[in-house]
Chain A
């Protein structure tokens, strides 16, 4: 069971908007530790998609955006494209656990 909770799957049609939630607790997201998001395509390493809640690394389309409120962070993807079909993971730091860098269980995005 992951420290950060994500829905196992979401889906949307091309052009639609989807959101993926990441729920933590007072020792990680609620403590103000940054949340980062990764996209993982089959057979490849995760790729940093959003860092520090809302920032996109160079080269990431502005269709991807992040937000945070309380102990929950969210990833939004607008104008869905077939190439967005992938697994998405949130990640943060937890000050109370033995494993300080923690991940969500991942969400599989299916583009219908």
Chain B
């Protein structure tokens, strides 16, 4: 049973960097059959996919074009976790952020969600 546990600041000032971490138990960030995603949810934008990292004989990532210039998702194999960094945030980035696992058959495991508020 995989579990994802999120951590990170809930309040970020505008123009600064949002950083969240997702700890994985019951699976490995280096799994060759999983991908690890960040998704956010807000009343104005609904559920919005942000990006993913995955290992297939090497590390790969993909990002949504809407945030591509500001986002980095990094795996940490030593800690079995992955992280989200979103730079130059604005109040529009205020949302509940989720990490999730994908086995090519939907997002089958989700973190608990972190409401991140960007203050102006």
Contacts and interface: CB of A to CB of B under 8 A. Distances in A.
A98 B64 CA distance: 5
A36 interface: yes
Contacts of B108: 48, 51, 57
Given A36-B105, A99-B65, A100-B62, A46 B46 contact: no
Chain A interface, >50% SS class: loop
B60 interface: no
Interface residues of B, number: 21
A112 interface: no
Contacts of B39: 101
Contacts of B111: 45
Interface string B56-68: 0000001011101
22 contacts: A36-B106, A38-B107, A46-B47, A46-B107, A47-B110, A48-B106, A48-B107, A48-B108, A51-B105, A51-B106, A51-B108, A57-B108, A98-B65, A99-B48, A99-B65, A100-B62, A101-B39, A103-B47, A103-B48, A103-B49, A105-B46, A106-B46
